[in-house]
Amino acid sequence: MENILDKEIKGIIDAYPEVGKILEEYGIGCAPCSVGSCLMKDIVGIHNLDPQQEATLMYRIEKAVYPGRDIPEPKVDLTKKAAPKKIMYSPPVKKLVDEHVLIKRLLALIPSVVEYIENNVEVDKELVLRCVDFIRNYADKYHHMKEEDILFKYVDENAEIIQVMYKDHDTGRNHIRQVVEGAENGNKAQIKEHLFGYRDLLTQHIKKEDEILYPWIDRQLSDTQVGEMFRRCNEADASVGDELPKKYENFINKLEEKFLKEVVK
C-alpha cells in the first residue's frame, strides 16, 4: 500500500478507474481534476475523514488496486479526531470564502454575457472589457493575491494542492488574455471559448478551496497565526481602500439587472 500512497492520483485513477469512483463516494472529486498531481497520501490527509471512513476508504482502494491480495480488514485509529460535520472557517479565511460569492455571481452571468455577444452583430467590447476588469482587479488582484501573498505562506507552498491552486490561477489568467484578444479582434468564438473555460475552471477552483483547501489550512493554523493573518488581510484590504469591493459589487448588481431585463424582454 505504501507505494500507492506515494503516487500521483491521476496515474492511479488512469490505471485503476475504480479508485476514482470510490473516491467520489467519499466526496473526494479527484477524477475530473485537470492536474491530478496530488499524492494519494496527501489527498487522504487533506480531506480529514473520520478514522472509520479513512480506514474503509484505504481498504477499498487497496482491494481495487490489488484484487488478488489477501488484505486485512481495516484497523481503526480511534485516537484520531473525527472530521467536524459543519465547516467552520477562521475569520480571515471566512472573509476569503465571502469574496468567492461575488466571483460566483459573475460566473453565473457568463452564459448570458456570451449569448448577448453572439446575438449582436458587433462584439460589445466595452462589456467584455468590464467583465475582464472585474476578473483582473477583483477576482485576481484583490482576492487571489491575498491567497498567494498571505494565506498560502502559512502552509508548505510546495504541497501539491497549493501548486494546483497556483496553476489554476495561471490558467485563469491565460483564459482572460485570450478573452481580451478576442474582444480586440471581434472574435466571438474566441471570447466564448475562453469565458466558458474561465467559468468552468473557477467553478471547480472555488469549490475545491471552500470545501477542501481552506478547511485544511484552517486546521493547521494556531490562534496566533489566525490573528496575524486577519491583521495582514485587513492591511491588504485597507491598502486598496473600501471603494474597490463596493465598486465591483455595484458592477455585478448592474450586470445582473441588465441581463435579468434581457431575459424578461
Partner 1 sequence: MSGCPGSRTMDFSEKDVQNESETGKRQSQLRQWPIQLHLVSPQAPYFQEKDVLLVADCVPFALADFHKDYLKGKSIAIACPKLDSDQEVYIEKVKSLIDDSKINTLTVIIMQVPCCFGLVQVAKGGAEKATRKIPIKQVVVGIEGGVLSEEWI
Can you give the binding site for partner 1, defined by CB under 8 A? Answer: 88-92, 94, 223-224, 226-228, 230-231, 234
Cβ proximity to partner 1: between 25 and 223 the closer is: 223
Cβ proximity to partner 1: between 41 and 94 the closer is: 94
Cβ proximity to partner 1: between 65 and 229 the closer is: 229
Contact 60, 102 (CB under 8 A): no
CB of 139 to partner 1, least distance (A): 24
Cβ proximity to partner 1: between 92 and 182 the closer is: 92
The set of cell numbers assigned to 95 is 472573509
Q: How far is CA 237 from CA 3, 75, 146, 197, 250, in A?
A: 45, 48, 9, 29, 18
Cβ proximity to partner 1: between 15 and 82 the closer is: 82
C-alpha 167: how far from chain center: 11
CB of 211 to partner 1, least distance (A): 18
Cβ proximity to partner 1: between 2 and 223 the closer is: 223
CB of 21 to partner 1, least distance (A): 35
* Residue at grid coordinates 471566512: 94
- Taking Cα atoms as reference points, which of 187, 127, 129, 159 lies closest to residue 46? 159
Cβ proximity to partner 1: between 176 and 233 the closer is: 233
